[in-house]
A and B are shown apart, each in its own frame.
Chain A
């Protein structure tokens, strides 16, 4: 319809006045048609028009000869459409057409009618049965479908490659697609179109056909009817057989359709054109991309070159600058040397501005010094002043130089002095504080005051020492010192420490005294013991502990007060879980063995227990 050469017959006229907009409900046949065309383009317009075209009045032909030739027993093989006289309509016949055709046939061919007309009618196999059978098939939608599916006039062929070559693509495929379109579940099957069909249309066409849903089914060809089965089992078996056969046919049908569409797709000139276009486009895109990449590369290279050039230039400039600086330095040195030489020459020529020989020697030395000290400009100025003023200026310069030298020396000396002082101070600060006896005692006190487990114990201990101790300088204890000392104290052999020595001496004195006393007042020995036993005595008011002491005496020396204190201290210092506790405790107390200590401890424990008991009793 939209042939390429038809442009002479169709013209587009613009409408000069505006359209009116109106809101419409999205329902109704008119709207749906409008929407469909709008969404699916112009081709739908012609399609729907075609389907809307009114069919002309149907003519039902009446072929009596054919009807007479029919065998009612063989109804399955008859052409139902031919029987009803709508051979030319076939699948296009509406339900209404079929009904009307059947009515007409009944009117003409009913046995009663024919009998009335004097025709001979065989009662058992009259062809009228064929007419009713035909209507039975075509009048029921499902049965009609199954008959339409295997309509003998359907062209099930697929064009071969040769046909396509001979007739051209459109001519050979149009009629195939049109004839197969009738199987579609969906209506509005897209048409093949022509050379000028848009890409969208072509794509829609192939999408539709590759996705084709066919209602064609082959139950009409069933070998045996299910109803003929004797029993349920047999019927089921027949059903199964039929199902398999139908599935096979359906599969073949789908394969046929597929091959048709495949062939069409493969030989469609439009598809080839589109593919070529795609390819070209891709190629063009690729080329453009490549070009872009190349351009980019070239640009990068250019930039790199420029950068390199700039760098080289910069380097050269740098080198030149360094060279110039070196040259200048050299020049300066040269100048300096020249000036010095000039100065020396000047001095020499003027006999060093000296009045005596000694002075000459001194001045010569001074000249050398001046040469060393002075810079180029100073030297020049100096030369000028000397040239103009002679000796006076020279002497001045020498003096100045001397002064300068002196000042420098002084400054150097001062510096060294300060540094030395500082170093001394630092070294002094670095030296650890010596532990005096008071300090050590203070440390022990602190350690006992802040038992193990105290938060930041050693810092606290160090603080304690710093607060309570007396210091000569600003040096103070830090946690580390304190910890080291404490460890030292713990592990060191007590007999070596001065504290121990002192304690030993004192203990011995005490012992001597005690011995003397004991002979005089036995009772006092009890008092010299720890606080606990004395308290016990006070509470009980009996002499039993004393007796005990006396009894214990033969194998035990009595415990002096200092010893008692030491023991208590040791027990506190070495907690229960300390390894070899009693040895350590015994070490702390001079003149006492481990056994003694343990014994004494047990006694003390008993005493305390007894005291507690007594206190309870008295309550």
Chain B
């Protein structure tokens, strides 16, 4: 039995979800965390992935963060410098991007694909440990909207090298919608998907109609992210420390790195609890630091940034123009209650969906897609989106003195409408089709129903350019 899995590999973290019995569940890693940091470090000759890499030696010369930015085939100089500053190894960018690691004996080289494969391999071990029975691990991946086909293929190659059987790559907003089953609602809705991750931000409006999703508008920002908030919090703590001890931790790189880790922890805690305790041993010159940070204090610290964070969402809503019915929030930083509140204030009428942890939404959606795909034999689709022809007008059916709406405008091909008809002892029946209840018919069909027992059923199937009527 094959298992259906979904992975969202982000710039700063990765999440793995599995789909079984109609529900997606997040698989926790070996440390018990539901989200694994997408950080890879080389410690001596050993590769460390995830938590050990994140909390490893601060002075290490070989830590890579934000590898995903370089997985995009057409990354820009900004992305490169961003990764360069956050990673602590040298990066060469001649023809291809190459990471250069200096170990005690030799210099090792690696590339973004290798690093991504390592992260996937880590997730693969987590998934195979969690799986109860043997079988293939069918996987659906999520990729940002602006990525090209080639970049997505790279992603697939990496995941397949790690051992997964990749079924499809879907876009991140689509995955977010799938996680909440929004596309199954019968009426048409417009959904704002707002993703705020560790270092990037996406806001898109998705139109859902008849089960089909269409991305209407999208804004991508690579400069906004939760890391700025962490930095603010760290600066705040540093300031407190300076006031008390007249020592400036910002002067020491090491102290600042330590501070950032603790600020990050504190931020996470404050998303769920009202106050967090920060205790840093030997922050600077052997002086320890202990402080309680309340959520209110934290919100005060970040309040100046909030309007900046809302800007992409506002932009997207303005350019879309139409009403928005639902909001899906995803990305680790959207766990912060203040930000959630700010987004919901932006659109008071819209329903904000936050039932699933924001940083797990996309992975959950991917796993659901994988679960759906398991039912479909030999599926192969490379694109993230495609064009489908929808019905241009309503279609009404009239028979005897009854009028039924057969298909609504915008119905997708291959939809079916089943109508039960009771005409008593009549031997034949004629149907007329109209595009408007009052207008003239555009087609008339007469069926001889002598041999059928009444009441019989009429099945209407919308096909590529016609309607198939069938009585049974």
- Chain A residues close to B by CB (< 8 Å): 6, 8-38, 40, 45, 49, 95, 142, 185-188, 215
Q: Is A13 a contact of B211 with CB atoms below 8 Å? A: no
Contact check, A28 vs B466: say whether CB atoms are below 8 A apart: no
The contact of B184 among A14, A29, A40, by CB within 8 Å, is A29
Tell whether B410 is near chain A: CB-to-CB under 8 Å. yes
Which chain A residue lies CB-closest to B386? Answer: A26
List B residues 214-266 near A (Cβ within 8 Å): 214-215
B469 pairs with A23, CB closer than 8 A: no
| A181–B471 CA distance with the chains assembled, in angstroms | 29
**Residues of the A chain whose Cβ atoms lie less than 8 Å from the Cβ of B387:** 21-24
User: Is B433 in contact with A13, judged by CB distance below 8 angstroms?
Assistant: yes
A14 to B463, CA, bound (A): 9
Decide: A25 and B170 in contact? CB cutoff 8 A: yes
Q: Which residue of A lies closest to B433 (CB)?
A: A13
Contacts of B377 in A (CB 8 A): 40, 186-188
Stretch with Cβ within 8 A of A (4 or more), from B41-49, B85-93, B309-317, B366-374: B366-374
**Is the Cβ of B443 less than 8 Å from the Cβ of A13?**
yes
State whether A19 touches B373 (Cβ < 8 A).
no
Q: Is the CB of B469 within 8 A of A14?
A: no
Q: Which of B212, B375, B389, B391 contacts A188 (CB 8 A)?
A: B375
Q: Output the nearest chain B residue to A30 by Cβ-Cβ distance.
A: B211
Q: Which stretch (B123-131, B292-300, B412-420) binds chain A?
A: B412-420
Q: Tell me which residues from 427 to 472 in chain B have a Cβ below 8 Å from any Cβ of chain A.
A: 433, 435, 442-443, 445, 447-448, 452, 461, 463, 465-472
Which residues on B sit within 8 Å (CB–CB) of A8?
A: 447-448
Q: Is the CB of B468 within 8 A of A20?
A: no
Tell me whether A23 and B170 are in contact in the complex, defined as CB-CB below 8 angstroms, given that A11-B445, A12-B466, A15-B395 are known contacts.
no
- Do A26 and B384 touch across chains, with their CB atoms under 8 A apart? yes
Q: Which residues of B contact A10 (CB under 8 A)?
A: 468-471
Asked if A45 and B447 sit within 8 Å, CB to CB, the answer is no
Provide the bound-state CA to CA distance between A188 and B391, in Å: 28
Asked if residues A20 and B211 are in contact (CB atoms below 8 Å), the reply is no
Task: List 5 extra interface pairs beyond A10-B469, A19-B465, A28-B372, CB under 8 A.
Answer: A8-B447, A13-B445, A25-B173, A31-B211, A32-B373
Do B211 and A36 touch (CB < 8 A)?
Answer: no
The answer to whether A30 and B469 touch across the interface, beta carbons within 8 angstroms, is: no
Question: A19–B411 Cα gap in the complex (Å)?
Answer: 10
Evaluate contact between A29 and B211: CB separation under 8 angstroms.
Answer: yes
* CA of A25 to CA of B452, assembled, Å: 42
Inter-chain contacts of B433 with A (CB < 8 A): 13
Report yes or no: B466 in contact with A14, Cβ–Cβ below 8 A. yes
18 contacts between A and B (CB under 8 A): A14-B465, A15-B395, A17-B392, A21-B388, A21-B389, A22-B390, A25-B206, A25-B214, A25-B384, A26-B174, A27-B170, A27-B178, A28-B183, A28-B213, A29-B211, A30-B412, A40-B377, A187-B375
The winner among A11, A20, A25, A45 for most chain B CB atoms within 10 A is: A25
In the complex, are the beta carbons of A15 and B391 less than 8 A apart? yes
A residues less than 8 Å from B471 (CB atoms): 9-10
Give complex CA distance A16, B442 in Å.
7
Residue among B369, B377, B392, B413 with the highest chain A CB neighbour number at 10 A: B377
Is B385's CB within 8 Å of the partner chain A? yes
Chain B residues with CB under 8 A of A34: 212, 388, 412-414
Asked if A37 and B414 sit within 8 Å, CB to CB, the answer is yes
Residues of B within 8 A of A (CB): 1, 21, 133, 168, 170-171, 173-175, 177-178, 183-184, 206, 210-215, 365, 369, 372-377, 379, 381, 383-393, 395, 410, 412-414, 416, 433, 435, 442-443, 445, 447-448, 452, 461, 463, 465-472
Shortest A45–chain B CB gap in Å is 6
In the complex, are the beta carbons of B213 and A24 less than 8 A apart? yes
- Name A's interface SS: mixed
With both chains docked as a complex, state the minimum distance between the C-beta of A455 and any C-beta of chain B, in angstroms. 54
Neighbouring B residues of A185 by C-beta, 8 Å: 1
Q: B385 touching A11 by the CB < 8 A rule?
A: no
B171 touches A25 (CB 8 A): yes
Residues of B within 8 A of A215 (CB): 1
Given that A31-B211, A187-B377 are known contacts, is A19 also in contact with B174, CB under 8 Å in the complex? no
Please determine whether A27 and B466 come into contact, CB atoms closer than 8 angstroms: no
Query: With a CB–CB cut-off of 8 A, which chain A residues contact B215?
Result: 23, 25
Partner among A27, A30, A142 whose Cβ is within 8 Å of the Cβ of B369: A27
User: Within the assembled complex, what's the spacing in Å between the Cα atoms of A16 and B21?
Assistant: 44
Judge whether A9 and B470 touch: CB under 8 Å. yes
Q: Are B443 and A14 in contact (CB under 8 A)?
A: yes
A558 to chain B, nearest CB (A): 89
Chain A residue with the shortest CB-CB distance to B211: A30
Q: Which residue of A lies closest to B206 (CB)?
A: A25
Q: In whole angstroms, how far apart are the Cα atoms of A49 and B467 in the complex?
A: 17
- For the complex of A and B, the 7 pairs showing the least CB-CB separation, nearest first, are A30-B211, A19-B389, A25-B174, A10-B470, A28-B183, A25-B213, A27-B170
Contact of A12 among B210, B467, B472 (CB under 8 A): B467
The smallest C-beta distance from A498 to any residue of chain B, in angstroms, reads 86
**Distance, CA A25 to CA B178, complexed state (A):** 11
A49 to B417, CA, bound (A): 11
| A11 / chain B contacts, CB cutoff of 8 Å | 445, 447, 468-470
Give the CA-CA distance A186 to B373 in the complex, in Å.
11
Q: Which residues of A contact B445 (CB under 8 A)?
A: 11, 13
Q: Which residues of A contact B412 (CB under 8 A)?
A: 30, 34
Q: A9-B447, A27-B178, A37-B414 are in contact. Are A22 and B214 (CB under 8 A)?
A: yes
A19 with B391: CB separation less than 8 A: yes
Question: Is A188 a contact partner of B390 (Cβ separation < 8 A)?
Answer: no
In the bound complex, do residue A27 and residue B211 qualify as a contact, i.e. CB atoms below 8 Å apart? no
Quick one: closest B residue to A10, CB to CB? B470
How many Å from the CB of B433 to the closest CB on chain A? 6
Q: How far is the CA of A31 from the CA of B376 in the complex (A)?
A: 12
Residue of B nearest to A19 (CB): B389
Q: Which chain A residues border B171 with CB–CB below 8 Å?
A: 25, 27
Most interface-central of A6, A26, A38, A187 (chain B CB within 10 A): A26
Q: How far is the CB of A406 from chain B (nearest CB, A)?
A: 97
Contact A30 B170 (CB under 8 A): no
Min CB distance, B281 to chain A, in Å? 48
Contact B174 A27 (CB under 8 A): yes
Return A287 CB to nearest CB of chain B, in Å: 38
A439 to chain B, nearest CB (A): 77
| Residues of B with C-beta under 8 A to A17 | 392-393, 435
